[in-house]
Amino acid sequence: MAGEAVSLLEEPQSKNSTPEEETQRSRDDFTSSRRHFSLALSHFPVLSRVLATLCYSGRRMRQMAEEACVHCKCMKNF
């Protein structure tokens, strides 16, 4: 039963698809995901504001860390 569920969820892939078709399929999936995410955020304005604040805070923290750590290489993995 678990194998059946997995096989039903998997997207059918053509064995004869070209790299261009695979690239286009990936772009379409990404665009669709972005559209769904944007739609979800439009229905939840509080979540949208929270995510925007977190993104801003993350950028600001990185900027402050870079300013404080000008002379060393510790930011390489940040």
Compute the half-sphere exposure of residue 11: CA atoms within 13 Å on the CB side of its CA. Answer: 6
- Residue 36 placed within a domain: yes
Cβ-contact 65, 78 below 8 angstroms: yes
- State yes or no: pLDDT of 29 exceeds 80: yes
d(CA 7, CA 3): 6
- State yes or no: pLDDT of 7 exceeds 50: no
Confidence of residue 1 (pLDDT cuts 50, 70, 90): very low
Amino acid (1-letter code) at residue 13: Q
- Residue 11 placed within a domain: no
Amino acid (1-letter code) at residue 41: L
Tell me the average pLDDT of the chain.
Answer: 70
- Residue 2 placed within a domain: no
Question: pLDDT exceeding 70 applies to what percent of the chain?
Answer: 65
- State yes or no: pLDDT of 3 exceeds 80: no
- Residue 72 placed within a domain: yes
pLDDT by residue (tens digit) across 38-56? 777 777 777 778 877 888 8
Three-state secondary structure string covering 18-62: CHHHHHHHHHHHHHHHHHHHHHHHHHCHHHHHHHHHHHHHHHHHH
What is the pTM for the complete model shown?
0.30
How many domains, in total, are found in the chain?
1
